[in-house]
Structure 1
């Protein structure tokens, strides 16, 4: 959805979460004078409930297909958008920035790019519902309430985690997790990001200290892979988990993102 005539901001959700979870961000960014745009992954349906009822279109969708879908949206906008992404959406945001499709990017607990070698046990456990079966590479896989609590809602109350699960959780394609796991051995991995691009816009990477799905050390290593020939910043929210983008504390993250964008606005025009 797109509203005002401000700078466009394209929001990219991650695995297992419906794009409607961005709605509070959309309202906040619109109030701040931006023109926010939300779109789902290829295969997502209009609502979380509809996607849960029929996730057949998500089977086999990989990182490249997701990236190309958002690239198409971005190139059809009147100017290069700011791209804000969470989890695998954060990886997509970095790829679009490196390709100069985005004018600036914010990667919130981004899924690991090629070159990230840290693999904490919590990350393995969070991905296990997909990686335990090779057949899941071509399937859409749903998390159970308990798995969602561990992977996303470990830093909020059990009650809130349950509410988030009911409201936003959807099946996700298994392929992106297999692609991330295979990145080291794949010379053409879709997780690759050009971290040496000198004339890209500014990038903010954010880590969450209690994140199980993308542990903070993984986000920090991604930040460390960038050459400092373009602005690259890193921020940690020590007491937050992977749900921090859409749980009851979302506004702290969104307002920090807004402040950073406003601070760097002179270096990512057009």
Structure 2
């Protein structure tokens, strides 16, 4: 068993949403003695309403996956210690890529986008990702998730008023190049390589990143000398960070880090 001694936590946001969604998680982790940071991605440092008003945003549209991974690597290299990296959705894939570069004391991938070559046949995955990929549209314009798309991909099963509040407080324009990057060699993981402890967290009602896809991702890791764990929460959709039971997920992660 490897002890995780780092007291620094880096939260990595996913696609389509603001980094401000980590605020309650940061407060909770800081109350447990951790130093936290949840940086905005390049060109995304503003309120969701402000950023939505910039759509189509040419700067955000220009972003590629490897640029964002390099951006977080530079942030990590300026820290006093390797952080525990906690990433959601595309942030979960970025977390895996940073872990592969040896930059994490430990890593938690929450409802993660899969690396290149890890696939699913679930219809909900294709329905939820078709719009964001925008395969027959220009990558020079950002993608802004519509409210119906948000309802299906992130907040399925929630009351409409809560879905609307979550949309208003979180949704921002996104780069199609980032989303498409998950299908390319920029998202390649060497699953046989030794790595720091890694935990996958999934939710049973997630439409866009199904639990079975996260489990397939988890099972790809083949290094017998490295810790890789998996946990599925019943009833959690993709809006896991903001669900009423978010603290249950956060506390499971905290206990995993400590134990």
1:211-234 per-position Cα deviation (integer Å, ceiling 9, x unaligned): 011111110100010013200000
2:196 maps to 1:196 = no
Output the TM-score relative to the length of structure 2.
Answer: 0.92
Q: Which moved more, 1:41-50 or 1:212-221?
A: 41-50
CA distance in structure 1 between the partners assigned to 2:36 and 2:138 by the alignment: 33
Q: Does the CA-based 8 Å contact 2:65-2:182 persist in structure 1?
A: no
The answer for unaligned runs of 5 or more in structure 2 is: 1-5
The alpha carbon displacement at 1:117 in A equals 2.2
1:105-134 per-position Cα deviation (integer Å, ceiling 9, x unaligned): 000011010120214211111112233443
In the other structure, the counterpart of 1:70 is: 72
CA distance in structure 2 between the partners assigned to 1:251 and 1:15 by the alignment: 22
Q: Which moved more, 1:210-219 or 1:189-198?
A: 189-198
State which of 161, 165, 189 in structure 2 corresponds to 1:159. Answer: 161
Q: Does the CA-based 8 Å contact 2:107-2:198 persist in structure 1?
A: yes
Output the TM-score relative to the length of structure 1.
Answer: 0.89
Superposition CA RMSD, Å: 1.4
Question: Which 4+ residue blocks in structure 1 deviate beyond 4 angstroms?
Answer: none
Alignment of 1:208-247 (within 5 A): 208-227=203-222, 228-247=224-243
CA distance in structure 2 between the partners assigned to 1:61 and 1:212 by the alignment: 25
CA distance in structure 2 between the partners assigned to 1:171 and 1:155 by the alignment: 24
In the other structure, the counterpart of 1:108 is: 110
CA distance in structure 2 between the partners assigned to 1:117 and 1:146 by the alignment: 25
Q: Does the CA-based 8 Å contact 1:42-1:65 persist in structure 2?
A: no
In the other structure, the counterpart of 1:150 is: 152
Alignment of 1:49-68 (within 5 A): 49-54=49-54, 55-68=57-70
SS state at 2:36 partner: strand
CA distance in structure 1 between the partners assigned to 2:82 and 2:72 by the alignment: 12
CA distance in structure 2 between the partners assigned to 1:136 and 1:204 by the alignment: 36
In the other structure, the counterpart of 2:247 is: 251
In the other structure, the counterpart of 2:256 is: 260
The answer for unaligned runs of 5 or more in structure 1 is: 1-5, 184-188, 264-270
Q: Does the CA-based 8 Å contact 1:130-1:136 persist in structure 2?
A: no
SS state at 2:137 partner: helix
